[in-house]
Amino acid sequence: MVQIPQNPLILVDGSSYLYRAYHAFPPLTNSAGEPTGAMYGVLNMLRSLIMQYKPTHAAVVFDAKGKTFRDELFEHYKSHRPPMPDDLRAQIEPLHAMVKAMGLPLLAVSGVEADDVIGTLAREAEKAGRPVLISTGDKDMAQLVTPNITLINTMTNTILGPEEVVNKYGVPPELIIDFLALMGDSSDNIPGVPGVGEKTAQALLQGLGGLDTLYAEPEKIAGLSFRGAKTMAAKLEQNKEVAYLSYQLATIKTDVELELTCEQLEVQQPAAEELLGLFKKYEFKRWTADVEAGKWLQAKGAKPAAKPQETSVADEAPEVTATVISYDNYVTILDEETLKAWIAKLEKAPVFAFDTETDSLDNISANWSGFLLLSSQA
């Protein structure tokens, strides 16, 4: 099992979070009809991650507007994807404002993807001796994994180090690019070699090594034990150009010119007034109460964020001591696999709690948005 070192640099694939939250959460809106579901989902995952690992340095990285160098390499790159839905696009600007108000550095660099910015920062931090935790659900990020760079998928609560990458994909991190180049990646429209699927790609890479070796020693391919091995060398030769194009498309850049270094990505205290205004506007009522109570996110080792200033006779009321709630063991359930694991856990527990979540405290107009589970064994 992977052990996460204390105080890692946390790099969040914000674009991955955004789409996953949009499709996983119900289409919530505030009373003005403005969409809020994706914002709620992203902030919920971010808050859980930050509260669990309490980093001093972190960044949330989004794709910038416009085309990237990959679009220039291959005109069909991601061309099969439908346009961003209007109700998702409307949430990007306020979401960015909320992330910044949470005290988290936000990055978006033109001409490259979020993956490339994350890859660059991860390698820089590793060279400086700082452990890195990358939060994403994208398999191409597995190429960045080393003993010092770890992946976490918050939807499935799985953590991938080098050994786990091999167990999951059948090849080590250093061959993930070759793996994607051979089999392609339908999510990004990376073509790969026609007729080469996951099992064949694994057999080729496990048997001989990376793409360069396969093309340098094609005569050895026929001796491998997989279906179609006898004709595979000819198939690879016929598709050599597309194989290396796919390799380029799948490669995450680690040398992007950035204005900030990883040491400058300090987590700041939340801007309480700004957060309060945003949460009230989009009617995140529970989080509004947390901000008003001065118990939203706290940066590691720093003083608690000041409560928002209000003009009310309540200011003179005696302070009430609130129960301290720990978020260290919270898990966001966003897929069937995680839900089944929790159901199995609850079946073994002598006692468990169930609580419904709604988008309003009004029991007439409220919409159901989720539920909470607590096991006595958690």
Q: Distance (Å, rounded) from C-alpha 49 to C-alpha 330?
A: 9
Average the pLDDT over 342-366 and give the result: 63
Between residues 140 and 361, which one has the greater pLDDT? 140
Q: Distance (Å, rounded) from C-alpha 244 to C-alpha 247?
A: 5
Q: What is the mean pLDDT of the chain?
A: 85
Residue 83, C-beta contacts closer than 8 angstroms, at least 6 positions apart: none
Residue 19 burial (CB count, 10 A)? 15
Task: For residue range 221-271, list pLDDT tens digits in order.
Answer: 999 989 889 999 999 999 999 999 999 999 999 999 999 999 999 999 999
For the chain, residues classed under CATH 1.10.150.20 are 175-250
Protein fold of 9-163+256-264: Rossmann fold (3.40.50)
Q: How many residues does the chain have?
A: 378
Residue 316 predicted with pLDDT over 50? no
Tell me which residue of 191, 237, 235 sits closest to 74, measured CA to CA: 191
Q: Distance (Å, rounded) from C-alpha 374 to C-alpha 351?
A: 9
Indicate the pLDDT class of residue 181, thresholds 50, 70 and 90. very high
**How many whole angstroms from its chain centre is CA 213?**
33
Most confident segment among 304-308, 360-364, 372-376: 372-376
For the chain, residues classed under CATH 3.40.50.1010 are 9-163+256-264
CATH number for the region 175-250 comes to: 1.10.150.20
pLDDT of residue 303: 44
DSSP string computed for 211-251: HHHHHH-GGGGGGSSSTTHHHHHHHHHHTHHHHHHHHHHHP
Q: Distance (Å, rounded) from C-alpha 218 to C-alpha 311?
A: 77
Indicate the pLDDT class of residue 118, thresholds 50, 70 and 90. very high
